[in-house]
Every structure is written in C-alpha cells, then in structure tokens.
Chain A
Amino acid sequence: MNSFFDKLYDALRSIKLAVVLLVLLALFAIVGGIIPQGKAVDFYLTKFPGASARVILALSLDHTFSSLEFLLVAAVFAMNLTVCTLHRLANEFAKPFKKRRHGPDLLHLGLIILLFGGIMTARTRSESVINLRKGESADLPDGSKIVLVDLLYQEYPDGRPKSFESIVAVNRAPGAGTGAGISGGSAGAAAAGATADSSLARRAIKVNAPFRGKGFSIYQQGWHAEQQAELSDAMGLRFQLDPGMRETFDGGFALFMASGQAAEAMRAPGGATSGQATTTTGSEPAAQSADASQDAIFLLEKGGMRTVVKAGPGQPVGPFTFDGLKDQSVSGLAIVTDKGYPYVAAGFVLVILGVFITYIRKLKGMLA
C-alpha cells in the first residue's frame, strides 16, 4: 500500500510529468488561440466547413479554457506544482542555510497563489457598466454614491482621442441602496444638487487610472456623445430631457425618444424612405422644421392618448415648446469587483522575485 502512495507521490512531483502537462497546456492554448472562443453556434457552422464545425462543438473547442479537458489538465498541473514545491521546500530546509536556493520555491509558490487567485477571479468577478451624463449619479456596491461632475475630452489634431476623463464626486457615507442604479440628471435639479455639494471628495477617473473603492474599482471604459432635447414651459422655464426621459404635466407627459437624425438612422436599414420620418398616430399633426437636423421625436401622452410627435425648434410639444437639441457627453464607467486580484497580485510579486533569483545566477557564468 505504501509503495502505491510512494509511486503516486513520486509521479506527482516528477519533472517529466511537469513537462508533459506544460506541453498539454500549450497545445490547449494553441487550439484556444486559433479558434475564436465563446461565439454562437451559428458562427462555427458558417465559419468552419463541414465536419470541422461539428468537431469543434463536440469537443468544446469553442470554449477551450472552460472545457472539462483543459480544467482537468490544469488541475493535475496545480497538484504537480504543489507536491513538487512542498517536496523541494522540505529538501531545501534540510540543507545548511547558505546552501539553500529558494528562487524556484518562491516562483512555484507564486504560481500556486496565482492559480488560486485565478480561480477566485473566475468565481467572484463581476462587472457592471453604467453610462452617466453630467450631473447624474449612481449607487456603488458599498452603498456610497458616485456623481459625474464633469467629463473632459481631448482629441489630437488627427481626430484620435488624446484623453477622456470623468471628474466624479464620491459620497463615502453609506447611501440608500446597493447595486449600480442611476438617478438624477435629466431635469437639471439633481444635477444642480449633486455638483453643488462641495463636501463630496472629487476624483478623476481616466483610462489606466481607475478609482479604487472598498472592494471594487471603477474604470473609464468609454465615452460617447448624445443629444438632449431642450424644452421650455409656459412660464419660460427651460429644462433638458435625455433620450428616454420624460417631463410630466397636468394630464400627461412628454417623453424625448430620439433626435430626428437618430430616428432616421434607425429606420434606414429597414428600407424606409428617407426624408419622410414623421410617423404620427392620434390627433397631433406632424411637424416639420426647416433644419431637419434639429428635429426631435417625442412620445406625448395627453388625456390617456399617446401620440408620436416630430418637432422642430420653436414648435410645441404638448404644453411645452421645443427649443432645440443640445449635445452632451456620456461617460461609460465599468464597476468591477474581483476578490481574486489581491491573491493574483501577491502571486505576481512572488513569481517575479522567484524567477529573477532563480536565473540571475546564470548571468555570472555567462560573462567572459
């Protein structure tokens, strides 16, 4: 019985097994590196001819790195690495202090921690993307609130982006909710309230400079421009509506659906005749302005009846007057939680230390 376990132990700590597993992992990675991963079944059936698509799908090569075969090899590799490290450590500690060589131990230990961190990341990482306009806020995973104070965008002369950064204010006091719900912004009141609060700590989030919160990070993921509809009421008070937002009035509401151009763009692929965008139902007459690029589409509810209205600047939208479209920037922020990364970072430190300590000695013998 003992001899069986001895043989198993010897097999698990053997360098030959390590080499075989390394080659197998490399072969899996080659397959996963060549065949596009995680696409829909139709993609493989159209991209790969005949039987090859069926082979890819049958052998789970469309998701190689989460396939049972790959995970099995990776698990055996982790065992080999662990047993080898423990065996080596025991041998090294048996030696006199000056003769010990702990470089490979640090390297192997770092890789074990890295593998553990990788498993943690795969199991716990979550990412949610929020799109914030200036003045809008969102709840963060720790209950605090983030407000987009400003979005700064710069371009190079050739039109490529030079920088885009979100200036945000974060209320670290526990907030009302959890998750990443968005509020404020559209009617101006929330925006004014949020940006005016000087007690909030302000931070810049840029690409390569994320905001680190308690247990989460916020990354500048994207930026895009969209148009707001500017309206005024009977008293002359102006307000803005983002796409999808509405303003109520006695007996109904006006909802800004899209700019006229955006609506055209959406209709175009369907084969609709361009230049005839106005579609109305109900009693509201179609509006058509001189400058079609300034037109906007609204959903108007009045007395229980809904109407789609296309309005140009100066034209009425229910009790309001549509004053025109206004460009505004939208910041795309990714909120990421990853409990595995601290372990991964620790693994990185040990791997770097271990690999340099192990092989730096080779330099000594190299020089003439």
Chain B
Amino acid sequence: MIATIAFGLLIVSLIIQIVVLFKKDAGADSITPWLSLASGTLLLVEIVRRSIAIRFVALTGMFESLIFLACFLSLLIFGLRYIKAAKGNKIIPFGATIVAVIFLALASSPLAPSDIKPPVPALQSGWLVLHVSFTFIGEVFFTVGFVSAILQLATKREDRRQTYDRLAYTSVAVGYPIFTAGALIFGAIWAEKAWGVWWSWDPKETWALITWLTYTAYLHFRLVRKSTSKLVPALVIVGFFIAMFTFFGVNFLLSGLHSYA
C-alpha cells in the first residue's frame, strides 16, 4: 500500500514534469522535487516496515531491491536542486523520474513477488546489507550519469554539452567509489565469509566486474579524450545498461550463486 502511494506520487510528478517540459518559457517547477522527496520517504518507510517484519534489513529479494533503488533515486532527484550543474534543469529530473517509475513498475510486476519473507541463512549477514545497499546507491548516481550522458549526446549547444558532461562525470565519480566498495569489495568479503571463496566467476560477479571495468574505462578515457568525443558519454550509457543487465538480466537469464537475488 505504501509503495503504491509512492508510485502514484511519482506518476503525478512525471505528468507535471511533462506539462512543464511542453511549456517552453516555463522554468523548473517547484512541486515535483517535493513529490519525489515524499515518494522517497514513503519508500524508505516501506523498507523500514518490512525490515521490522522480518527482523532483518529488507534487502534480500527483487521487490525490496527495486524499492530501495527507487527510494534512493527519488531522494537524489530531490537532491538535484542542490547540485550546481543540475540546478534549474528540467530534463535531468524528468529522465531520472522515468527510471524511478520503471523500477517501481517492475516492482509491481509478477517478476518481483512482494511477499515478506525472512532471509535464509546465507543472506543473514551484515556484509550482504553493505554489499547490496552500496551497490544500489552507486547505481543511483550512475542513473543520473546515464540521463546526463544521453543529453550530452543529444544537445547541439556547446555550453549545455559541457554542463551535461560535467554532471555525467561528477555523478559517475561519486557513484564509482560507492559501487566499487559495494559490488566488488563488500560482495567479495561476504562471499568469503559465506562460501569460503572470495571470487568464483559466478555470472553476477562477472557482470558486476564488467560494469566496474566499463566505468573505470570511462574515468580513464575521459582524461585522454577530447571533450567533444562521443565515445566518452557512450561509455556511461553502456555502463548503465550493463549495470541494469547485471541486476535484472543475470537473475533471469543466467544461473549462479546469486539465484536468490
């Protein structure tokens, strides 16, 4: 119920943003950031409610993961108003809201059963909580980078292109250490504690590594390429699709140690 209200708020926010986008002379509206904040807060309440019910941090299933992603993305959409390069921009919050709505739409689909189930022994670890939460928070920043990179490729105005480039870079640069710690390091520490092997080329591990390699390549490539290169934002876009495949595709298409995820 709480998640449904949060979903509704994001839909309302999306509709308002579409209306504002069509009004060329209108500036960024002041309502939708607060709708995003309300939605994020409600999703956080839902995570806390489920956590109390299972007496463990509710991050052990697909539904909870999607709720967590949508929650932090909604909070970041609100936070965009405090970010220099994004202040006053209408398209970046709009793009990020679309992604948050997609996450919640998937959460309400049969792909993500919403039953509240306490975790099996393998999932009862503090390292799991760190692994999953850091990975998703990193990916939330990658989402903003993804939207910025699309705009960077789409725009023809040099000043806007530079702004989007700076925002894409900053988003990735903030998300990258969080993702590195969560997806690779905390995940490996947890695997060592649970299974006695810190790396086993499991499909999920491998795809998390591919995501990391892609963003690492982007951060280095940006140092040596000209600012007009289209390959630089393309890497951010590819990185985001790989991150999403790591989250969804691997779960449904490839089997491995993360089959419960």
Q: Which A residues are closer than 8 A to B by beta carbons?
A: 15-16, 18-19, 22-23, 25-26, 29-30, 32-34, 37, 65, 118, 121, 125, 127, 156, 158, 160-164, 206-210, 217, 219-221, 334, 336, 338, 341, 344-345, 348, 351-352, 355-356, 358-360, 362-363, 365-368
Most buried by A among B87, B189, B196: B196
| B residues in contact with A355, CB < 8 Å | 176-177, 180-181
- Decide if B210 is an interface residue (CB 8 Å cutoff): yes
Number of chain B residues whose Cβ lies closer than 8 Å to a Cβ of chain A:
50
Q: Interface with A: B106-114, B147-155, B211-219, which one?
A: B211-219
Bound complex: CA A163 to CA B185 (Å): 26
Contacting pair A366 B84 (CB below 8 A): yes
Per CB-CB distance, the 8 closest pairs between chain A and chain B, nearest first, are A336-B196, A33-B206, A207-B121, A362-B173, A26-B213, A355-B177, A22-B217, A208-B125
- Decide if B49 is an interface residue (CB 8 Å cutoff): no
Bound complex: CA A355 to CA B176 (Å): 8
A348/B188 contact (C-beta < 8 A), A26-B210, A219-B195, A360-B177 known: yes
Contacting pair A206 B84 (CB below 8 A): no
Bound complex: CA A65 to CA B202 (Å): 12
| B residues in contact with A348, CB < 8 Å | 185, 188-189
- Decide if B20 is an interface residue (CB 8 Å cutoff): no
Contacting pair B188 A366 (CB below 8 A): no
Contacting pair B210 A359 (CB below 8 A): no
Bound complex: CA A19 to CA B180 (Å): 18
| A residues in contact with B127, CB < 8 Å | 208
Contacting pair A19 B217 (CB below 8 A): yes
Q: Can you list 18 A-B contacts (CB < 8 A)?
A: A22-B217, A33-B203, A33-B206, A33-B250, A127-B197, A162-B121, A163-B124, A164-B121, A207-B122, A338-B197, A341-B198, A351-B180, A352-B180, A359-B174, A362-B170, A366-B83, A367-B82, A367-B83
- Checking A19, A341, A368 against B82 with a beta-carbon cut-off of 8 angstroms, the contacting residue is A368
A162 to chain B minimum Cβ distance, whole angstroms, is: 7
- Decide if B220 is an interface residue (CB 8 Å cutoff): yes
Contacting pair B194 A208 (CB below 8 A): yes
| B residues in contact with A356, CB < 8 Å | 177, 181
Contacting pair A351 B121 (CB below 8 A): no
Bound complex: CA A363 to CA B172 (Å): 11
Contacting pair A359 B173 (CB below 8 A): yes
Q: Which B residues are closer than 8 A to A by beta carbons?
A: 81-85, 87, 117-118, 120-122, 124-125, 127, 169-170, 173-174, 176-177, 180-181, 185, 188-190, 192-199, 201, 203, 206-207, 209-210, 213-214, 216-217, 220-221, 223-224, 250, 254
A23 to chain B minimum Cβ distance, whole angstroms, is: 6
| B residues in contact with A210, CB < 8 Å | 193, 196
| B residues in contact with A221, CB < 8 Å | 195-196
| A residues in contact with B169, CB < 8 Å | 362
Bound complex: CA A367 to CA B217 (Å): 25
B141 to chain A minimum Cβ distance, whole angstroms, is: 10
A33/B210 contact (C-beta < 8 A), A19-B221, A162-B121 known: yes
- Checking B176, B196, B207, B217 against A33 with a beta-carbon cut-off of 8 angstroms, the contacting residue is B207
| A residues in contact with B217, CB < 8 Å | 19, 22-23, 26
Contacting pair B196 A29 (CB below 8 A): no
A201 to chain B minimum Cβ distance, whole angstroms, is: 21
| B residues in contact with A29, CB < 8 Å | 206-207, 209-210, 213
Taking A366-B85, A368-B87 as given, write out 10 further A-B residue pairs in contact, using a Cβ cutoff of 8 Å, ordered by the A residue number.
A15-B223, A18-B220, A19-B221, A22-B213, A26-B210, A121-B198, A158-B117, A208-B125, A345-B189, A348-B188
B213 to chain A minimum Cβ distance, whole angstroms, is: 4
Bound complex: CA A23 to CA B235 (Å): 10
Which partner residue on chain A sits nearest B82 by CB separation? A368
B166 to chain A minimum Cβ distance, whole angstroms, is: 9
